[in-house]
Structure formats: C-alpha cells, structure tokens
Amino acid sequence: MTAYFIQAFIYLFAAVLLVPLAKRLGLGSVLGYLIAGVIIGPLTGLVGQETTTIQHFAEFGVVMMLFLVGLELQPQALWSMRHKLLGLGGLQVTMTVAVVTGVALAFGLQWTVALAVGLIFSLSSTAIVLQTFSEKGLSKTEGGKSAFSVLLFQDIAVIPMLAFIPLLALPELQSAAAQLTQAAAHHEELSLVAHLPAWATGLIVLGTISALIAAGHFLSRPLFRYVADSGLREVFTATALMLVIGIAALMGLIGLSPALGTFLAGVVLANSEFRHELEADIEPFKGMLLGLFFITVGAGINFEILSNSLVTIVGLTLGLMLTKALVLFGLAMLFRVHHSDRWLFTLSLAQAGEFGFVLLSYTVAEHVIPNDLAQMLSMVVALSMFLTPALFILFEKVIQPRYQKSDDGREPDTIDQQGPVIIAGIGRFGQIVNRLLVANNIPTVVLDHSAAQVDVMRSLNIKSFYGDASRPDLLHTAGIHEASLMIVAIDDRARALELVEHVKQNHPHIKVLVRSFDRAHKYELRDAGADLIVSETYHSALNMGTHALEALGFHPFHAEQMRQNFVEVDNSNCLKLYESWRAEDESRSFGDHYRDLFIKLEGLMRDSMKKDRADRHTKSERGWTPPPKDYLKDFEAD
C-alpha cells in the first residue's frame, strides 16, 4: 500500500510543480504535464513500467471529456454539423490514410502493414486538442468547430478500424494459435456481440443506442430528481460517475467506442435542467484523469529507443506532421475555412492521437505489425503529441497576430462626408450612440480601426469608414475643424486616452465626450481634458440594482428614489476622490487616503438610503416622486 502512496505522490508532486510554471510561461497545461512525465519517467526513473497500465486507466479522462463536450452541444447543433462531420472528417481520414499508406509503401513496407500504419496515423489527439481549445478559448472559432467535427468523426472511425485491422494479419506473424484462441475466449466473455452474425450485431447496436436515447429523455429526469431530493451532494456525484462509467461499459460490451457512447449520452442530456450539476461533478475527475494521461505519455517516452533511432524517429515525426498538415490545409481551403482559422485547424490536428497507442497494441496482438516496428511508431505518436503544444504557441504568438496586422494593414477609406459629430469607434457602445443621433437627423462621421467591424456595419446599412481616428489627416478629412462634438467610443483604454489628448491639444474648440472603463480610466481622461465622461457600466449597473430592489419587494417609487440617492452621493464625492487620486504623485494609484475616502463614501451612501424623501419634489425625479402631503388643500384654497 505504501508503494502506491509513494507513486501517487510522485505524479501529483510533478503536476503541482510544473503545470502552473508552464502556464505562467505561456506554454499551456498540456505541455506542463508532458514535461512532468518526461522528468519523472525517462530522466529520473522515479516511475517505470506501471505507466502503461496507468495510461489505459487515465484514457477514461477522454471519455469524460467527450461526455462534457456532448453536454454543451444541443442535438440540433450536432445535426447542423453533419456536413462537416461527414465531409470534412471523412475526407481527412480517407486522404490521410491514402497518403500515409503510399509513403509507407515507398519505404518498402508490405501493403497490409502500410495500410495499418495509415489507419493509425490518420487519427489526432482528442485529449490535447480539446483541452487546449478550452484553455485558450478557441472552441467557438470557425477553426475550432471544424477541428471538433474531424475529431468526432475520427472517434467514430475507430470502431470500423478495430473490426478491419484483424483482416490485415501477416501469416508469418500468426504462430501463436493457442494464444489467439485464448484471447478470443476472453473477448467473448466481455462482449454481447461476439460470434453473432452481422445482422444480429447491427440490431443489438441500434437497439442499445435507441434505448440509451429513450432513457436519456424519459428516465434521466426522474432519476436525477430522486437523487437531488436527498440533498446529498456526494450521492449526486456518484450518480454522475455511475452514468458515465455505465454507458462506457455498455458501449464496450456491444463493440462501440466508449468515448462515442458517452458523447451521445451528453448530447441527449444537453437539454436537461441538471446539465450544469453534471458538469460540475464530472469536471474535476476529467481534469485529473486527463492530466494523468498526459503525464503517462511523457513518462512513456523510451529514451533508449529514441537515442538508438533518433534521426529516424524525428524524421518520421516531422514528416507525419507535415503530411497531415498539408492534407488539413487543403481541406480547409476546400471547405472555405478562412484566415487564421485555417491555420488553427491545420496545426491543431497535425499530430497522431492517443487512440494510436490503442491501435498499435491491437495490431501487435492481431499480428499485423511486428513488435519492433510498433515500438518505433509508438515513439512517433508520443513525440508528435509532445510537439503539439509548440504548434499552438506558434499559432498564438506568430500566426494569429500576423493575420490581425494584415487586417489592420488595409488602406483607410476615403471619407466622403462631414458632419457636426465625429464618432470614433462603432462597437457595442458607439453604435448605440450613433443610432440615437442618426434617428434624430443629426449627421455623423463614424471612424473605426477594425476593418471587420466596419464591414459588418455597412452590411447593416450603417455608414462608417475604416481608419485610425488619431491620424490628423483622417480627422481633417472627417471635418474636425468644422465639427462641434467628438464622441470617443474606442474599445481600447490606452488608444482612447491618446485620442482625447490629441484632440484637446490640437482642436481645443471641439467638445469631447468619451466612455471610460473604470474609475482610474475616468480620472485619466479627466486629466486629459475630456468634457464629459460616461462609465460604460455605471448606468446599466444602476438599472440592474434598481430592478433588483423592485424584485425584492421595494415599490418602484422607493427603488427609484434610492437610485437617485446613490447617484447624488456618488456625484457629490466624485471631485474629492479625483483630487485624492491626482495627489498620488506620478503613480496615479489608489493610495491610503483614497481608500479612506471611499470607505467614508460607503458610509454616507448607507446614511442617505435611510432618508425619507416622500415629502418633497425635485426636478430630477419629478416623474417618480409622489405629490407632497396634503397637496389637494392648495387647490381647495384657490
């Protein structure tokens, strides 16, 4: 027992030490896990042969991950993916198999071995790709969604591959007939469809999937409600684990991929009101098992084989990744995946996958690939997975910024109109301001530095011009000398501050209205000379707070008065807070004096809320303040 504790401590210590460091350096958690595995495995020898066994167990993290992916995917969304799922995914597998098989034949391998190698290398790493997409927020991009379609098809394709590979067995490797018989008997014990005719197997598979879908629709809610009524969180967690493990086992019994089965179950439960609870319960187990899987991949790299055939293995790895990248890039062009998404799709799927280890073991057991060749190919699979985080870093640091710059490299538009109002920025804030002014027949000249945003606005028949509003020539063309008002709504606090400073220094006659991001930005803009500053979240937050009071039972009159109290106290102390911030020398930080003033402001705010204002009118709230007491007597006296 102590030995197990020591092994567990080694794995956990390596993860705790290296994964946060890798994240801090911008390398991503996956590369951190892989490096941790290399250190505790081949470099220091702290872990040994047990990594293979642990890896098979940790692969269940992939199953859990696909269950969670399914929970996020509505059935109608899955149906909308059918063209990319079958077209893009099918072509990727088919073309990669064909190209890799052809290269393997050119290297002198028998056609059966070459085809098996092509099948193995056609797959990519679901674990690494989806985990990295989730970390970097790439899942919703066009490239991310296309890559997911391919990965899902690959998981489906594993099933016919497992059925087809035994047909490729080499006669010279089939010398252990007794072992094959024993393996077949063992397979029969763990399968419901062994030795059944094809039609019967098909009926069982279809019946099981149909039953799974029906159970998800009609039985899951009563089950989860029964468990939830107990009020025991650990029982709900046990139920979630039971569900995933049970479905995975069922899929294995009928010869389907456990990952595919749990993904389907996740899609079925995507509309369940218990979806978020399931996600919260499964997520920690998924993360731990995936991390353990990545560590075992790193620990499983055999440096002896790598050193003996270093040039060959590195060459095969780079050749494989280049070959897959060319196939993927061509398919991205064919399916009109544009710009940086095309590179994301290409680089994210250029590696071999974790199912490659499964298929390699299976081909050796079925006497398709010799054991020495399988060991070398395993190194290629592991090394390609190890290099994948570097490809994501290449995309994030080099390729994506270049595409952003190329978009910005477009020549500014020719501004063919002028007006009394110039609006810099036509994003979520500026477009509302512009619509209000245009609706009142006030001519505006709209500038934005995002070519994509300008194109979107034009498609909505909102006239705007591409260009940097801080450029003097563009401002001159836009009529800055004749304009009376400039509204700065740029979604970049630094550029907004620079623009305000430029306009107030060179065109002091123009009134500048600007939106701020927070208090510090508001103070900076005030220092720069802005005439009116509006916080982008202040008024919406006040509205939400007022509605919250009403939802808690406050009368709308009372809630509105509390809102006005808040605004008046805040405005009356705004100048004091600004002067305190300004007094902090060059640091312009929130010092102790500022914090003391802010705390005092909160006390004043609470005192103000206790005042009864129902006996007086104000111009600012006359639509909300009830009439004064005994106001009818004034009319009777008249």
SS3 letters across 468-495: CCCCHHHHHHCCCCCCCEEEECCCCHHH
Mean pLDDT throughout 545-555? 90
537: which DSSP letter?
T
What does each C-alpha distance from 107 to 87, 100, 315 come to in angstroms?
30, 11, 13
DSSP labels, 195-230: T--HHHHHHHHHHHHHHHHHHHHHTHHHHHHHHHHT
Q: Report which of residues 567 and 122 the model is more confident about.
A: 122
Length of the chain in terms of residues written? 638
pLDDT, tens digit (0-9, with 9 covering 90-100), for 158-217: 767 876 887 777 665 555 434 444 444 444 456 777 777 877 888 888 888 888 888 887
The residue ranges of DSSP E strands in 406-552, in sequence order, are: 421-424, 444-448, 465-466, 485-488, 511-516, 532-535
What does each C-alpha distance from 576 to 517, 570, 607 come to in angstroms?
20, 10, 19
Report the pLDDT value the prediction gives residue 315, as an integer from 0 to 100. 93
Q: Report which of residues 581 and 333 the model is more confident about.
A: 333
Supply the mean pLDDT for the chain.
Answer: 80
Report the pLDDT value the prediction gives residue 511, as an integer from 0 to 100. 92
Q: Which of 74-78, 384-388, 414-418, 463-467 is predicted most confidently?
A: 384-388
Report the pLDDT value the prediction gives residue 410, as an integer from 0 to 100. 57
CA dihedral angle for residue 285, residue 291, residue 297, residue 300, rounded to 10 degrees: -90
Q: Which of 19-28, 64-73, 211-220 is predicted most confidently?
A: 211-220
Strands 485-488 and 421-424: parallel
Report the pLDDT value the prediction gives residue 324, as an integer from 0 to 100. 94
Residue 319 has pLDDT above 90, yes or no: yes
pTM: 0.57
Mean pLDDT throughout 447-474? 78
Rounded Cα–Cα distance for residues 564 and 521 (Å): 24
Which is the CATH superfamily of the domain at 412-536? NAD(P)-binding Rossmann-like Domain (3.40.50.720)
Rounded Cα–Cα distance for residues 558 and 624 (Å): 9
Rounded Cα–Cα distance for residues 516 and 526 (Å): 10
Residue 112 in contact with residue 168, Cβ under 8 Å?
yes
Q: What percent of the chain has pLDDT over 70?
A: 84
Q: Starting at the edge strand that comes first in sequence, how are the strands of the sheet with 532-535 ordered?
A: 465-466, 444-448, 421-424, 485-488, 511-516, 532-535
Which of 101, 127, 112 shows the shortest CA–CA distance to 323?
A: 101
pLDDT, tens digit (0-9, with 9 covering 90-100), for 386-404: 888 889 889 888 888 777 6
Residue 50 in contact with residue 7, Cβ under 8 Å?
yes
Q: Report which of residues 559 and 590 the model is more confident about.
A: 559
Domain boundaries, the chain: 2-175+187-401, 412-536, 549-638
DSSP 3-state helix, strand, coil percentages of the chain (rounded to 5)?
70, 5, 25
Question: b/e for 528-540, b at 16 or more Cβ within 10 A?
Answer: bebeebbebebee
Q: For the domain with range 2-175+187-401, which CATH number is right: 1.20.58.760, 1.10.357.10, 2.40.50.140, 1.20.1530.20?
A: 1.20.1530.20
